[in-house]
Structure 1
């Protein structure tokens, strides 16, 4: 059966799902549900569809052109006077943003352990970050692409079971769930949350990660159907999990007037309502989310910057490992700096939301390069959908900046 074959081909899409279902997503979705109930589910539906649209483009680029996004941009802008300023902008944004993102991933995983142990202890928090960083560093240094892919697929499956089980236990209002998905509203003070929800789902660095992973996994047009199915199945499942997290928070916190400052708080507050089972499920899911995302952020940065720099083949692997490990190390330093984990996590998602229009514009530019993709360039439907996503993300980002400047 073709559908079963598609499931066997799940791979690069699972990396993307593992990347965006991190502690940032868990935390932002928890706060969205706790503060606004089901009303912002439409933003996650939009973000999931947008992610599928853009990640399909990235997967198609890697599969057909056998190039990563960084490599394609380097070739496309080879003779442009804006080449190095644009590359510098991308490099700084990716490295800085992913280092902050990594700090949020590690902090979120540590919060998961705290939730399981019910011990908000600084020593436990610190040692959890150090141990997870050591595991992630070992995997990044020694693991091959296929080994990393398999590990992330297991973690994504584990997260799915944990968060879907918690969703079922919380008994959400299905009518409000459907209304929130298909009736766009923007309650007072919700704009930052909407941008964060989009930024935590349509993650700019995933566009680089997916193209490079597809290049390693598939070769040519014969593999394109499998690549597309991989994107739809994996990312669709990831988006559904994110919606379940919002709904769980809406059912267990918003509807009862409870508050949450983090996903770990949500796990603790679920205990008197549903017993310790929910606390363990949510805490374990948060830990898995942190570990999976702590691998993908360094990998994506290394793929993008190595492709842009284009070093000599003899030292390429060393530079790749050096970049990925440096992102991990800087993330550990941020996570242990004393800043509140919730602020690190939300800040990273907010930055992603503002960076998205820039990277999306680069992707759309590349996907219309006939010399690169031939008959597999974007058609009018793909360009139209991509333009809508670009304009919506740009409009939200601009409005947020103007509001911050007290213009609105």
Structure 2
């Protein structure tokens, strides 16, 4: 009896400790992912549901592999990349600097959209600036514990609102299940690849290991809890994505309504909701939209600043500093500044075409880089044998790398043609 009670207490304690996975999942699902999922639902109904589910499985493998390397070796993914060659550090450095400049403007603008709709007293660029400043000072003045608590609150808000919305439109269960048959309607390849490769984060999946370390999980004994944390987070993400696909299928597909591409398409949905269910539901959706976008801002501002700080000190030969100390370093604060203030120029001047092309190229090429390097690192002797990849992890990561190479080629082809 005592043994059973002890086991139950251990399980309850494990559930109370989960958090970094919620952070990485919330960071990875932004306004662009909501639009992509809604458009897929509006064009193809439930036919691509399987792609959304598969995308969550892929991201589970990538984030779990990144965090497992951190825990198994006591080091970081950047230290592992350095083993593969110094070119990896230069590649990541160029990527993260360019990516941060463009993403900063994109994230601020996306969050400003629902805020402008809710409170039209000031224009969108002003709300975008306020969003950036809020993210800057929140991350600068708080440590991981407060950051995680706020992220959990925003995840709860967006999850409850979006799932409630899916329930409100009363989907047919047989119709939903039909979306798990791996069908591929004509013209759906682009959206299928986008759902698998985009929803749930890109570079932020590699930041999971840093949040795990800041949480205080160090050493192989934390791997089982990390896997529970990671799987729980992406199950929540999967339900969230399915909810948005249901909304797209039930509200838009059946009525033949097309959303505008880009983050502004979510405002189209707000208008549809107001016409069908009234202003209260529409306002609730805008609040969920704002929580989704703002959680990505907070997550990227914190996680990528940790990532950059680790890169900077590795380049200086000081990469063994503890993750818990990186939040206090000048490099952390410098990247936080870089994400916030220089991108504000784009809020008023627009995005230069050359930067858009470069951002697309680096963004498309990062995910195959991550998948391939994880295969190399997690099968190497640098990782304790019990923490190395099994056959299933290798299959999923190999499949992911092939998928992301196809996605990279597709995106580059579109950018240059």
Distance 1:194 1:206 in 2: 21
Which residue of 206, 209, 212 maps to 1:211?
209
Distance 1:171 1:184 in 2: 23
Tell me which moved more, 87-96 or 278-287.
87-96
Write the deviation string for residues 124-170 of structure 1: whole angstroms up to 9, x where unpaired.
31221122111111012111122211111111111111111111112
Distance 1:146 1:283 in 2: 27
Write the deviation string for residues 35-94 of structure 1: whole angstroms up to 9, x where unpaired.
3322222221111011111111122122222222123222x13xx4xx23x322222223
Q: Choose between structure 1 and 2 for higher RCO, CA contacts under 8 A separated by at least 6 residues.
A: 1
Asked if 2 retains the 8 angstrom alpha-carbon contact of 1:170 and 1:248, the reply is yes
Which residue of 352, 365, 368 maps to 2:376?
365
Partner of 2:252: 253
Distance 1:180 1:44 in 2: 10
Distance 1:90 1:105 in 2: 21
Asked if 2 retains the 8 angstrom alpha-carbon contact of 1:200 and 1:349, the reply is no
Structure 2: runs of 5+ lacking an equivalent: 1-7
Partner of 2:91: 89
Distance 1:95 1:127 in 2: 24
Asked if 1 retains the 8 angstrom alpha-carbon contact of 2:162 and 2:240, the reply is yes
2:316 is the counterpart of 1:318: no
Which residue of 302, 307, 320 maps to 1:304?
307
Partner of 1:240: 239
Q: Give the TM-score, by structure 2 length.
A: 0.85
Q: Secondary structure at the match of 1:256?
A: coil
Asked if 1 retains the 8 angstrom alpha-carbon contact of 2:29 and 2:200, the reply is no
Q: Secondary structure at the match of 1:90?
A: helix
Partner of 1:42: 50
Partner of 1:110: 112
Distance 2:150 2:22 in 1: 10
Partner of 1:99: 101
RMSD of aligned C-alpha atoms? 2.9
Distance 1:36 1:339 in 2: 31
Partner of 1:275: 278
Partner of 1:225: 224
Listed as ranges, the matches of 1:58-73 within 5 Å are 58-73=66-81
Distance 2:164 2:191 in 1: 25
Asked if 2 retains the 8 angstrom alpha-carbon contact of 1:170 and 1:274, the reply is no
Distance 2:79 2:371 in 1: 16
Distance 1:291 1:160 in 2: 14
Asked if 2 retains the 8 angstrom alpha-carbon contact of 1:115 and 1:268, the reply is no
Partner of 1:356: 367
Partner of 1:24: 32
Q: In the superposition, relative to structure 1, how do residues 134 and 402 fare at CA in structure 2: closer, same or farther (>3 Å)?
A: closer
Structure 1 residue ranges, 4+ long, deviating more than 6 angstroms after superposition = 313-316, 347-351, 403-406
Q: Secondary structure at the match of 2:349?
A: coil
Structure 1: runs of 5+ lacking an equivalent: none
Partner of 2:152: 153
Q: Secondary structure at the match of 1:223?
A: helix
